[in-house]
Amino acid sequence: MGEKYQALVARLSEIRNVDRARAILSWDQQVNMPRGGAKARAAQLSTLSRIGHDMLISDETRHLLQDAEKETEDAAYDSVEGSMIRVTKRDVHQATCVPTQLVADITEAEALGHQVWAEARANNNFAAFEPALQRILDLKRQEADFLGFVEHPYDAFLDQYEPGMTASRVKRLFDAHKSELVELVVAVSAHSDRANDAVVRQSYPIDKQRAFGLKMVSNYGYDFERGRQDEAVHPFCITFAQGDVRITTRFTENYLNPALFGTMHEAGHAMYEQGVAPELEGTPLSRGTSLGVHESQSRLWENVVGRSRNFWSWAYPQLQDTFPDQLKAVDLETFYRSINRIAPSYIRVEADEATYNLHIMVRFELEMALVTGALAVHDLPKAWNERFESYLGIVPPTDKEGVLQDIHWSSGLIGYFPTYAVGNMLAAQYYRQALAAHPTIPDEIGQGKFDTLREWMRINIYQHGRKFTADELTQRITGEPVECGYFVDYLKAKYTDIYGL
């Protein structure tokens, strides 16, 4: 490694330090901070964010980058050096291509938008949110022009969360499995008596929920020497260093699922971050490569493993021991079906595996139309309800349970939703590949052994951090780009069995 390259890495690690300090303040804001700290904290976060941004786009960083690039010209594409230069160039480009004034206008519109949205949602009043959303869309449309795109302005937004993904590819993937999902949900509804969730909706003391969840994800391999769990209203995973990757969970006394599967979900994100190769620590490469790949890991451990019959054949006796009053008289099959009940619902974050992507498709299609102006903001609630009815067969009784439910649009997160669906598809695709390499994995899960699966993920995905894009990674592992077919096969096999279709 040459001198210039080392100087660049040292500079990048300082930038990362500023960024991680900001992350700690943000974690504290969501976990510990009293309400009175909100104003000062917003100012502190914004100061650190500006310092980090200025350091990244400074002449110093750019000169170091140019020098290091010359010095590492011969570095192989998949080497750490080659990847560091490639990813940093991309980061610097993204941070500089949008004029500072527009960035400031967007930040302000988002802050205001979030406030207006929270109030509009509380009052179930979409009209109050309309002007703020229109302003955000106008500014984001300008941002897309600066970010650049080939086919559709939406590509510019997608590219920030899922580099390389385009609107036309998302559309193709969604069109390829939308009707199959709709058919599956309709078929299941004719047999809805085969699964109900009464057993998980009893009273479950929170301290025991916490202990059980922690035990499960420790078995998965989430390393608590390098992590911890706290409570937060909106659960998340956050990384301060490879040795400090934290998760948060929300507990509901009268419903077992949110904390249990939420803990598995966030632990899936955390294991990805903990599994990045130590040599990448402190650099821009030391984190998950895209939101879709990240979500593939949370979904894998939450659903593919955590909602499987094999997993519960091992874990259920322990859960019964933890909650004898609630579960002693409930057999494994009844419990297994209760956590895998499919039923159309209004709220995305509570959706089951089969309806989840349909929720995303509604949002994706509306976002696309909003970005081009084909759909007026004023007509959004009506368009939402129409699509909802055609895909899920139900109409939200209020906008609060419909178009106003998500935080994303008020925070300018256009193009974010498809990454959740991509995560579901990739989880099935990667799992299939892991099984091809190690057919014993399901049996091992049935014995509470998760090492083979986790190690396969670590070697093939985690360790690379951001060295490869989601497409490159998926090609390397599975020999194809992201596909929806494996996800559909997985759902059909599982739910044909559960619902006796």
Q: Which residues are catalytic?
A: 266
Q: State the residue for tokens 């599994």.
A: 275
**For the chain, first and last CA: distance in Å?**
60
Q: Are 458 and 151 in contact (CB under 8 A)?
A: no
Minimum distance, C-beta of residue 328 to Zn ion, in the bound complex (Å): 33
Q: State the residue for tokens 């020999």.
A: 479
Minimum distance, C-beta of residue 295 to Zn ion, in the bound complex (Å): 5
The CA distances from residue 307 to 66, 261, 291, in Å, are 49, 8, 22
When computed from its CA atoms, the radius of gyration of the chain, rounded to whole angstroms, is 23
Nearest to Zn ion of 298, 424 (CB atom):
298
Minimum distance, C-beta of residue 276 to Zn ion, in the bound complex (Å): 17
Q: What tokens appear for 302 in the block?
A: 């939450």
CA–CA gap between residue 501 and residue 495 (Å, rounded): 8
Nearest to Zn ion of 55, 457 (CB atom):
457
Minimum distance, C-beta of residue 236 to Zn ion, in the bound complex (Å): 8
Q: What tokens appear for 294 in the block?
A: 């990240």
Nearest to Zn ion of 136, 276 (CB atom):
276
In the bound state, the residue with its beta carbon closest to Zn ion is 298
What does the DSSP 8-state code read for residue 345? -
Minimum distance, C-beta of residue 265 to Zn ion, in the bound complex (Å): 6
What is the Cβ-side half-sphere exposure of residue 401, based on CA atoms within 13 angstroms?
11
Nearest to Zn ion of 262, 465 (CB atom):
262
Nearest to Zn ion of 236, 255 (CB atom):
236
Nearest to Zn ion of 5, 261 (CB atom):
261
The CA distances from residue 484 to 170, 476, 491, in Å, are 10, 17, 11
CA–CA gap between residue 3 and residue 1 (Å, rounded): 7
Q: Are 286 and 23 in contact (CB under 8 A)?
A: no
> Which residues of the shown chain bind Zn ion in the complex (CB under 5 A)?
298
CA–CA gap between residue 353 and residue 355 (Å, rounded): 6
Closest CA to 419 of 298, 236, 300, 295: 295
> What is the bridge-based pairing of β-strands 244-249 and 237-241?
antiparallel
Minimum distance, C-beta of residue 130 to Zn ion, in the bound complex (Å): 29
